[in-house]
Amino acid sequence: MASVQVRLVRPSEHAALGELTVAAYARVDPGTLQSDYADELRDVAGRAAGADVLVAVDEQAGGAVVGGVTYVPDRSSPSAEFTEPDAAGIRMLAVAAGAQGRGVGEALTQACIERARAAGRRQIVLHSTDRMATAHRLYVRLGFERDPSIDWEGEPGLWLRGFRLRLDPPV
């Protein structure tokens, strides 16, 4: 992990992150790739226009992109899947198969939490499918709680489960 850095994605990395994200989702829950969602996952440039796309790059591996996440700053972002005025969001967290299990996903999620705190957001909202159990453990470990009141059916039979992290007010 010492060699892994988290920062904003660069245009030259858009394609690699898009493919990495589709591959990570395909391994865990291929059902998420129905409809046009694979195209949406690949469209890093599109979401970078209205949200902060972060990457994890491994300096020891020549700066290879090993993971990424989309930080949604507020509900006005085209990537927002929440309506709360004081919320930020996290979407499309993914880590390359060969880089999983060493804290990259946690570092990406922590980077989003830090951005939300710095911006004075009071909560972070995200959604995840039932098969994304590794992600659920990560979120709960970082303080997120399940919130079934914001579950929604993204596609027939594909439920997106709500998670919410309340952030303490600044002291």
Ligand X SMILES: CC(C)(COP(=O)(O)OP(=O)(O)OC[C@H]1O[C@@H](n2cnc3c(N)ncnc32)[C@H](O)[C@@H]1OP(=O)(O)O)[C@@H](O)C(=O)NCCC(=O)NCCS
For residue 149, the SS3 value is helix
18 binds ligand X (CB under 6 A): no
Q: CB under 6 A: which stretch of 38-46, 100-108, 111-119, 142-150 binds ligand X? A: 100-108
Q: Do 26 and 33 form a contact (C-beta atoms < 8 A)?
A: yes
Biggest distance spanned by C-alpha atoms of the chain: 45
Q: Among residues 30, 78, 101, 143, which is the contact residue for ligand X, using CB under 6 A?
A: 101
Phi, psi of 145, deg, nearest 5: -125, 145
C-alpha torsion 162→98→39→73, nearest 10: 50
Least distance to ligand X from the beta carbon of 43, Å?
16
Q: Which stretch binds ligand X (CB under 6 A): 5-13, 77-85, 113-121, 128-136?
A: 128-136
Residue facing ligand X at closest CB distance: 105
Token duo for residue 29: 């829950």
Q: Which of 4, 6, 17, 25 binds ligand X (CB under 6 A)?
A: 25
Q: Which residues pair with 145 in a beta bridge?
A: 164
Tell me: does residue 134 bind ligand X (CB under 6 A): yes
- Round to whole Å and give the CA distance between 99 and 76: 33
- Does 102 bind ligand X (CB under 6 A)? Our answer is yes
CB of 46 to ligand X, least distance (A): 18
- In the bound complex, what is the minimum distance in angstroms from residue 166's beta carbon to ligand X? 19
The one among 61, 100, 158, 159 contacting ligand X by CB under 6 A? 100
The terminus-to-terminus CA distance of the chain in angstroms comes to 31
CA distance 161 to 139: 12
Segment 69 to 98, residues that bind ligand X, using CB under 6 A: 93-95
Task: Give dist(CA 79, CA 70) in Å, integer.
Answer: 9
Q: Which position among 106, 147, 158, 159 is part of the footprint of ligand X (CB under 6 A)?
A: 106
Out of 113, 132, 150, 165, the residue judged to bind ligand X by CB under 6 A: 132
